[in-house]
Structure 1
Amino acid sequence: MDQSSPEHYPIADFIKWNNEKELVLNPSFQRGPVWTTTARTYLIDTILHGYPIPKVLMRTHIDRTSHRIFREVVDGQQRLRTIIDFAAGKFKLGVRSKSYRGANYSALPGELQDKFLAYKITAEQLINASDTDVLEVFARINSYAVPVNAAELRNAKFDTEFSWSVQEKSRKWTELWDLGILGKRDQVRMIGYSLVAEMYSVLLQGVTDGGEDKVTRLYERKKSGFPEQNEIEERVDRILEVMFERVVPGLANEPIVKRPQALMIFAAMAHAEFGLPPGDLGDQLPQHGENLEGSVDRFISNLTYLNEVLKAEEPPRKLERFYTASKSSTQRIASRRERFKVFSDALLRDSME
């Protein structure tokens, strides 16, 4: 088996090969077309905005008699099928394309059609490879792959208003995550999606026991609809805006703003601003205090003190439980209950020292 170096072909070439029956989109080892309209829309929108998409892998057969080359798609057939179907006018773009919602290919301006046809897809060719060769390639690719985590599995499984809302909100607040809440590697692995989903959960259900299983159950419950979407998104933006502009910058990259603490800081601020459901706290839910406007300055001062507590070798006696809760399993309700209580106090008290 020979393998080509990566080459870059314009979309127009793939359409031409398909029209001339030199492109095989559904070989025996590939799945049939299963992408939803939402996923198809997102791919086309990505191309129209000029962002890169994953490369495709093709098995190339050279026919000596007809002097033709036949390309069998080993990996990427759903991407190519979506592109070819869009060019043929077989579907319109859905809500996941904010700029081109409702448009089919013919409705695009001429210059955008040209941009679409000229967009280059990276492809590698397995020349005259046997089925055994192809299966060996798959095996080797998979042997090097990093196992997917729960957030990545949810991203692949759920195509709902809730899941798209979580994705878009996480991407919107990347600059906040960069202040030390999430590392770049975690963001690439979609941990930001998990964090935002838990923020949604706090607003919908209150402070509860955590963990990826609980997040997945929330996605399951929201499969049929997300009627609270506008209100939840507005409330998340309100709290994260205050965190980004006032609370976190002076404590960037400190222990007090890492992901587990950031979630409970968010919860305390949301409770002060809007009030939260009891969740797993029941009658231990702290009193709903004044709104954030009058609390942020003292909150920042108290968080600065709590950050020093977290960095100390031995905490003050009155904050021993907070210190221990911050070092233990931070997803469990016992830990969250204690930290939520302390952060709520930090919003109300002039000084925690």
Structure 2
Amino acid sequence: MDQSSPEHYPIADFIKWNNEKELVLNPNFQRGPVWTTTARTYLIDTILHGYPVPKVLMRTHIDRTSHRIFREVVDGQQRLRTIIDFAAGKFKLGIRSKNYRGAAYSSLPGELQDKFLAYKITAEQLINATDSDVLEVFARINSYAVPVNAAELRNAKYDTEFSFSVQEQSRKWTDLWDLGILGKRDQVRMIGYSLMAEMYSVLLQGVTDGGEDKINRLYERKKAGFPEQAKVEQRVDRILDVMFDHVVPSLANEPIVKRPQALMIFAALAYAEFGIPSGDIGDEHMPVRPDGFSESIERFTANLTYLNEILKSEEPPREFERFYTTSKSSTQRIASRRERFRVFCEALTEDGMEH
């Protein structure tokens, strides 16, 4: 088998090859067209914004009789099928495209159609490749693949207003995640989506037991619709704006602002400002609600600084032993979250927790 160097072809070429039946989109070793509307929309939106997409692999052979070149798509069939179907007017863009939602190819401005057709896709050709060669290529590609995590599975599975809102809000607050709440690797693996979904859950359900199953159930409940979307997004922005401007920067990359603690800090601020359901804590165990946080942010940040020193110490003060222990144990369990939520609520109301 020979392999060409990567070449760059405009989308117009792939459409032409398909129309002339020189592009084979469904050879035996490719899956059928199973992409969701969300995935198809996101690919087209990526192209319209000029962002790169993964390269495709094609097995090329020349028919000696017809003198024609035929290209079988080894990897990238669903991407190319989506592109060709969009150009043919077979679907409109869904909610994953903020700027072009509801647009068909024919409704795009002429200059944007030109940009779409001229967009270049990187392709490598497998020349004189047998079926065994192709299967070997697939095996080697897949051997380097990282197994998908729960957040990535949800991103692929759910094409809903709730899912899209979570994704958009998480990307909006990347600068906050970068202050030590989430590492870059976690953000690439969509862990930010999980954190944002749990923040939504706090506002909708209160503080509950954690874990991916809980997040999955929330996504399932919101499949039919997300009528609270505007209110939830507004409240998330209000709380995270305060965290970004006043709370987290002075504690950037410290233990107190890592993901498990950041979620309970968010919960305490939400409880103070808006009130939240009692969730798995129960009405009888909910702490006294702080009276908002507008007048107590400086006090709150000072108390968090003290709590951070406790987390870094080897022997915590007796009154904070449980906070210390739960912060270092299974932070998703309700027993842990209940204690940390209580302490953060107190941090909003007490003057100088170190005294």
| TM more than 0.5 | yes
* Counterpart in the other structure of 1:251: 251
Unaligned runs of 5+ in 1: none
* Counterpart in the other structure of 2:262: 262
Distance in 2 (alpha carbons) for counterparts of 1:158 and 1:74? 27
2:173 counterpart of 1:201:
no
* Counterpart in the other structure of 1:291: 292
2:336 counterpart of 1:303:
no
Counterpart residue identity of residue 113, structure 1: Q
Contact 2:181-2:258 at 8 Å conserved across structures: yes
Q: In terms of mean alpha carbon deviation, does 228-237 or 85-94 score higher?
A: 85-94
- TM-score, normalised by the number of residues in structure 1: 0.97
CA-to-aligned-CA distance 1:296-315 (integer Å, 9 cap, x gap): 11101100111111111211
Counterpart residue identity of residue 338, structure 1: E
2:77 counterpart of 1:77:
yes
How much does 1:235 deviate?
1.1
Distance in 2 (alpha carbons) for counterparts of 1:349 and 1:177? 27
Counterpart residue identity of residue 67, structure 2: H
How much does 1:106 deviate?
2.2
Contact 1:62-1:128 at 8 Å conserved across structures: no
Distance in 2 (alpha carbons) for counterparts of 1:55 and 1:238? 40
Helix, strand or coil at the partner of 1:126 = strand
2:309 counterpart of 1:279:
no
CA-to-aligned-CA distance 1:166-205 (integer Å, 9 cap, x gap): 1111101000000000000110011101101111111111
Q: In terms of mean alpha carbon deviation, does 155-164 or 330-339 score higher?
A: 155-164
Distance in 2 (alpha carbons) for counterparts of 1:100 and 1:209? 38
Helix, strand or coil at the partner of 1:9 = strand
How much does 1:97 deviate?
2.0
Helix, strand or coil at the partner of 1:292 = coil
Helix, strand or coil at the partner of 2:61 = strand
2:305 counterpart of 1:316:
no
* Counterpart in the other structure of 1:165: 165
How much does 1:322 deviate?
0.6
Helix, strand or coil at the partner of 2:65 = coil
Contact 2:48-2:116 at 8 Å conserved across structures: yes
How much does 1:129 deviate?
1.7
Contact 1:56-1:73 at 8 Å conserved across structures: yes
* Counterpart in the other structure of 2:53: 53
Aligned runs of 1:1-353 on 2, under 5 Å? 1-282=1-282, 283-353=284-354
Counterpart residue identity of residue 78, structure 1: Q
Q: How many residues align?
A: 353
Contact 2:39-2:156 at 8 Å conserved across structures: no
Counterpart residue identity of residue 227, structure 1: P
Q: Percent identity?
A: 84
Distance in 2 (alpha carbons) for counterparts of 1:202 and 1:57? 45
How much does 1:67 deviate?
2.1
Unaligned runs of 5+ in 2: none
Helix, strand or coil at the partner of 1:294 = coil
Distance in 1 (alpha carbons) for counterparts of 2:91 and 2:336? 49
CA-to-aligned-CA distance 1:58-107 (integer Å, 9 cap, x gap): 11122222222111112211111111111122222233222222322222
How much does 1:39 deviate?
2.4
Counterpart residue identity of residue 170, structure 1: S
How much does 1:335 deviate?
0.9
CA RMSD of aligned residues (A): 1.3
CA-to-aligned-CA distance 1:190-224 (integer Å, 9 cap, x gap): 11011011111111111111111211121122222
- TM-score, normalised by the number of residues in structure 2: 0.96
State the 4+ residue runs in structure 1 displaced beyond 4 angstroms. Answer: none
Distance in 1 (alpha carbons) for counterparts of 2:58 and 2:150? 30
Q: In terms of mean alpha carbon deviation, does 58-67 or 13-22 score higher?
A: 58-67
Counterpart residue identity of residue 129, structure 1: A
Helix, strand or coil at the partner of 1:315 = coil
Contact 1:309-1:315 at 8 Å conserved across structures: yes
Helix, strand or coil at the partner of 2:276 = coil
